[in-house]
Amino acid sequence: MAERVMARDVRTVARVITWLENQLPAGSAVLKLLRPPAQRAMVVGITGYPGSGKSTLIDHLITAYRRLGNTVGVLAVDISSPLTGGAVLGDRIRMQHHADDPGVYIRSMGTRGQQGGLARATRDALRVLEAAAYDVILIETIGVGQNEIDIVSVAHTVVALTTPGLGDDIQAMKAGLAEVADILVVNQGDRDGADSALRHLREWHSPVLRTVAVTGEGVPELIAAIAERQRVHDLVQVPR
């Protein structure tokens, strides 16, 4: 099974992640045999409030990375609607454009496991996707702080989404998200208040980008900002 994961057999990848989600011993046995490829994946966390447009934006990021010739793995960590599973459905619908593309694997990590088990399962799933040698791995999570997975500790680059018109929430954003985010994004940039949100946030942080996830506007700039951030990350990672 480990060999098949490393050969990027998608069905095996999916099966092993399910084992890990259900904390079956077979899952950890496979995990022990996995080796990351020489060329490590670029891991990008996409975080932000429920409904800010993370999945819609990721759909465009997948398209952009595929055009650049990269394979893409996505972990959508669903904690926004644990009871209905509505977010899982939303993720599926918003990212379904890539369902037939063998170079794209999208996995929703649900809350059906035990409390606290999600972070562990997500970390393990990330190791599986890394071993399967996806070039880019995107992790969707909501919020920061009360997250079950600490996105900052697993992602090389953290992109935090906010939306215009949050008002008081902008304050929270400044205090919380801006602290952990490498790149701030004002998504739904087509809505009223986008300009002032950008102006305010730019007093606090750099870079702050505007995107319109429903059209893909701003996605090339975001791709460039992620690449720049990754370049810096790689520089500091290389032992001298």
Ligand X SMILES: Nc1nc2c(ncn2[C@@H]2O[C@H](COP(=O)(O)OP(=O)(O)OP(=O)(O)O)[C@@H](O)[C@H]2O)c(=O)[nH]1
Q: Which residues bind ligand X (CB under 6 A)?
A: 48, 50-56, 80, 87, 90, 94, 142, 187-188, 190-191, 212-214
* 192-198: long-range contacts, CB 8 A cutoff, minimum separation 24: 192/164, 192/165, 193/164, 193/165, 194/164, 196/164, 197/162, 197/163, 197/164, 197/165, 197/166, 197/170
142, 50 contact by CB (below 8 A): yes
Nearer to ligand X, 34 or 209 (CB): 209
Give the residue at shortest CB distance from ligand X.
53
Give the residue at shortest CB distance from Mg ion.
55
Binding partner at 122 among ligand X, Mg ion, none, C-beta below 5 to 8 Å by kind:
none
Chain residues 34-93 in contact with Mg ion, contact rule CB under 5 A: 54-55, 91
**CB 116, min distance to ligand X, A:** 20
Chain residues 89-148 in contact with Mg ion, contact rule CB under 5 A: 91
> Residue 84: phi, psi to the nearest 5?
-85, -20
Longest dimension (CA), the chain: 52
Nearer to Mg ion, 91 or 182 (CB): 91
Binding partner at 218 among ligand X, Mg ion, none, C-beta below 5 to 8 Å by kind:
none
Contacts of 64 by beta carbon, 8 Å cutoff, 6+ apart: 219, 220, 223
**CB 93, min distance to Mg ion, A:** 10
Nearer to Mg ion, 146 or 237 (CB): 146
Token digits of residue 36: 């990351």
Nearer to Mg ion, 97 or 202 (CB): 97
**CB 105, min distance to ligand X, A:** 18
Strands (DSSP E) found in the chain: 42-48, 72-77, 104-109, 136-142, 157-162, 183-186, 208-210
Establish how many alpha carbons lie within 13 A of residue 162's alpha carbon, considering only the half-sphere containing its beta carbon.
31
Nearer to ligand X, 56 or 157 (CB): 56
Residues that bind Mg ion (CB under 5 A): 54-55, 91
